[in-house]
Amino acid sequence: MGKIVSATYDENMNYIKDGRIVPPVITVKHLVKNFGSHEVLRDLSFMVRPGEVVCVIGSSGSGKSTLLRCINLLETPTKGLIKYKDETKFSDEAGGSSWPVNKYRTKVGMVFQSFNLFNNMTVLQNCMVGTRKVLKKDKKTSYDLAMKYLTKVGMAPYINAKPAQLSGGQKQRVAIARALTMEPEVLLFDEPTSALDPEMVGEVLHVMEELAQEGLTMVIVTHEMAFARDVSTRTIFMDGGLIAEDDIPERLFTQPKNPRTREFLSRFLNSGQIQAAG
Amino acid sequence: MQQVSLTWVGRIFSDYAGQILQGTWVTLYATLIGTILGILLGFLIGIIKSTPISKDDNILKKAGLRIAKAVCSIYVEVFRDTPMMVQAMVIYWGIRGFANISSIEGGILVIVLNTGAYMAETVRGGIQSVDPGQREGAAALGMGHLMTMFNVVLPQTFMNILPEVGNMFLTNLKMTSVLNVINTAELYFVAKTASSTTYRYFESYLVIAIVYFVLCFVFARLIDLLEKKLQGKADYELTAEPAETGEEERTDG
């Protein structure tokens, strides 16, 4: 498998589309997050531009998931600035999280490691509740959207099943469909395959790969190195709550500049995960 | 010494048939109305007690929530820490001091308030036992606190506490007997009347014991049925042929 999404970047890692820099959809500036006295994110800045597929890699405890959860404000940052397009969604200077977050979250979807499908609803109800109740779309439109995305992830035949009756891979595909029904501008994935049996990882990664090809903007926290290398347009390596390296995967995976990146990747190179999938 | 007589059991059944039926009806009526309203009250209090106070809320909302929570806590403590029979006397005669209520109305009110206090704690526990991931999933779709509660958390809470709801119905069915202290003409009251006329204590109370048992037994089976119905089908049907994508599709479940 080779690169599946081609992308152009300038020398400052700005995503170039049709010959110009695209304005960012998410801007994170000087983000700090403390849990008590424990500093998880330390002064972290980056942007996500429409069309980018950003994979965030790094060892456990490096702050990857916290970063993702701060972006859609499931965690309230301690300091810093988060912008969606031109709208400020969090700024410590203005006194913290006083912006209404619910509308923002419809624009920035999230797929969780533990799926978080609603246990009291069927697959179809899971995929209609957001559009019906939050976006206030009518029943027909909601149903059509649900079926469109359930078909895309190959789960349309299962609309009457309850989450408890599905396998992990099936649950995650429904969770992706549910997030897509909101037609978000950006979709965040928090280790979407980490809770799955190895044999089910492929079906979920396959769906995400298709979404990448269709140009969906995604930020993916993952431990699947081959996936990050082949699908991302840009890979961020996080270490100790900081962005240690931010580069196109072609360079980051073959000639990492940071010694920490090299050390981290060497374990995967040695384990053969990258070659085996390449 | 009085001989135990099964003929007397039959006689009380036939002589007091009308009153027994009437008493059964009052018992059922008070139990159903009292428990259903009590459960609703319990949900209301459980919801109030588990509403988070966010630092972003305005001062009015914060103060209102704190006061509501305090009132709920006091109510729950008072009703859990006093006997229902005493509550019945205090509430009924207390209200009679300034308003005219019938003993059945007073009886239902006591059941509602007593059930509400117990259910409040059950509901709160039930809300806490719902996986926090469910709330995160809802938050990520842009759902607010109340929308999440009504669409996601409370339906699951209800399923979690359904066995306890069943218990509450059975307990109340039997606890209505204490309402005889305020002269509610329920089953126990009927036995009291019958025994004071016939002096057949064992037989009178055996009659209502049988009625209570039958009522509770039927009720318990109905609750079992409800539980099964609410749990839904153990199986599901595929709506069309699964797409031909090989290993992706599993049909077990």
Diameter of chain A measured on Cα atoms: 54
Positive/negative CA dihedral, B36, B121, B107, B19: positive
Please report whether residue B215 resides in a domain: yes
- Buried-exposed string A49-73: b where 16+ CB fall within 10 A, e elsewhere: bbbbbbbbbbeeebbbbbbbbbbbb
Please report whether residue B236 resides in a domain: no
Tokens 């809770």 locate to A195
Supply the range of the domain harboring residue B71.
6-230
Rounded distance, CA A271 to CA B7, Å?
Answer: 87
* Chain A, chain B: beta-carbon pairs less than 8 Å apart: 105
> Residue A134: which of B142, B156, B248 has the nearest Cβ?
B142
Give pLDDT, residue A117. 97
- Buried-exposed string B142-179: b where 16+ CB fall within 10 A, e elsewhere: bbeeebbbebbbbbbbbbbbbebbbebbbbbbbbbbbb
For residue B16 the two structure tokens come to: 């007091």
Tokens 């309850």 locate to A162
Question: Is there a contact between A49 and A23 (Cβ–Cβ < 8 Å)?
Answer: yes
pLDDT confidence of A89, banded at 50, 70, 90? confident
Q: What is the mean pLDDT of residues A80-102?
A: 79
Closest-CA residue to B46 (of B138, B141, B130, B117): B117
Please report whether residue B217 resides in a domain: yes
> Taking CB atoms and an 8 Å cutoff, what residues of chain B touch A109?
140-141
Helix, strand, coil distribution of chain A in percent, nearest 5: 40, 25, 35
R_g (Cα) of chain A, nearest Å: 18
Give pLDDT, residue A272. 56
pLDDT higher than threshold 70 for residue A14: yes
Q: What is the mean pLDDT of residues A206-215?
A: 93
pLDDT higher than threshold 80 for residue A67: yes
> Taking CB atoms and an 8 Å cutoff, what residues of chain A touch B247?
199, 202-203
Tokens 């006397």 locate to B89
Question: For chain A, where are the E strands, in sequence order?
Answer: 8-9, 15-17, 20-21, 26-35, 38-48, 53-57, 79-84, 87-91, 108-111, 186-190, 217-221, 234-239, 242-247
ipTM of the complex: 0.89
Rounded distance, CA B220 to CA B222, Å?
Answer: 5
Closest Cα in chain A, distance from residue B149 (Å): 12
CB-CB under 8 Å, A120 with B253? no
Please report whether residue B85 resides in a domain: yes
Q: At A237, phi and psi to the nearest 5?
A: -105, 120
Rounded distance, CA B128 to CA B125, Å?
Answer: 5
Characterize the bridge pairing of strands A26-35 and A53-57. unpaired
Q: What is the mean pLDDT of chain A?
A: 90
Tokens 């009052």 locate to B26
Measured in whole angstroms, how far is the alpha carbon of residue A117 from the centre of its chain? 17
Per-residue pLDDT of B196-220, as tens digits, reads 888 888 888 999 999 999 999 999 9
Rounded distance, CA A107 to CA A126, Å?
Answer: 18
Give pLDDT, residue A10. 84
Amino acid at A178: R
Q: What is the mean pLDDT of residues A234-246?
A: 94
Residue of B nearest to A202 (CA): B248
Rounded distance, CA A63 to CA A57, Å?
Answer: 10
Give pLDDT, residue A95. 56
Per-residue pLDDT of B13-47, as tens digits, reads 888 888 899 989 999 999 999 999 999 999 999 99
> Residue A133: which of B143, B235, B240 has the nearest Cβ?
B143
Please report whether residue B235 resides in a domain: no
| Secondary structure, 3-state, B60-96 | HHHHHHHHHHHHHHHHHHHHHCCCHHHHHHHHHHHHH
Per-residue pLDDT of B160-174, as tens digits, reads 999 999 999 999 999
pLDDT in tens, chain B (253 residues): 677 878 888 888 888 888 899 989 999 999 999 999 999 999 999 999 988 887 777 888 889 999 999 999 999 999 999 999 999 999 999 999 998 999 899 999 999 999 999 999 999 999 999 999 999 999 999 999 899 999 999 999 999 999 999 999 999 999 898 888 888 888 898 889 888 888 888 888 999 999 999 999 999 999 899 888 888 777 787 876 554 444 444 444 3
Per-residue pLDDT of A96-151, as tens digits, reads 545 678 899 999 999 999 999 999 999 999 999 999 999 999 999 999 999 999 99
Q: How far is CA A16 from CA A12, A22, A84, A102, B180, in A?
A: 11, 6, 19, 31, 83
Residue of A nearest to B151 (CA): A129
Tokens 């999230």 locate to A110
Please report whether residue B10 resides in a domain: yes
Question: Is there a contact between A142 and A128 (Cβ–Cβ < 8 Å)?
Answer: yes
> Residue B56: which of A98, A103, A119 has the nearest Cβ?
A98
Quote the pTM value: 0.85
For residue A254 the two structure tokens come to: 């073959």
> Residue A120: which of B56, B156, B241 has the nearest Cβ?
B156
Tokens 């347009």 locate to A233
> Residue B136: which of A97, A112, A169 has the nearest Cβ?
A112
Rounded distance, CA B63 to CA B61, Å?
Answer: 6
Question: Is there a contact between B208 and B154 (Cβ–Cβ < 8 Å)?
Answer: no
A133 inside 8 A of chain B by CB: yes
Question: Is there a contact between A84 and A107 (Cβ–Cβ < 8 Å)?
Answer: yes
Question: For A4-126, where are the E strands, in sequence order?
Answer: 8-9, 15-17, 20-21, 26-35, 38-48, 53-57, 79-84, 87-91, 108-111
Per-residue pLDDT of A15-48, as tens digits, reads 888 888 889 999 999 999 999 889 999 999 999 9
pLDDT more than 70, % of chain A: 93
* CATH number of the domain that residue B199 is part of: 1.10.3720.10
Please report whether residue B60 resides in a domain: yes
Give pLDDT, residue B238. 82
Q: How far is CA B119 from CA B66, B174, B226, in A?
A: 20, 17, 19
Q: 3-state DSSP call for residue A119?
A: coil
**Number of domains into which chain B is organized:** 1
A residues 77..106 contacting B (CB < 8 A):
96-98, 102-106
In chain B, which residues touch A (CB < 8 A)?
55-56, 131, 133-134, 136-144, 147, 151-152, 155-156, 159, 232, 235-243, 245, 247-250, 253
CB-CB under 8 Å, A72 with B133? no
Closest-CA residue to A26 (of A56, A58, A62, A63): A56
Characterize the bridge pairing of strands A38-48 and A26-35. antiparallel
Please report whether residue B247 resides in a domain: no
pLDDT higher than threshold 70 for residue A250: yes
pLDDT higher than threshold 50 for residue A79: yes
For residue A214 the two structure tokens come to: 């269709």
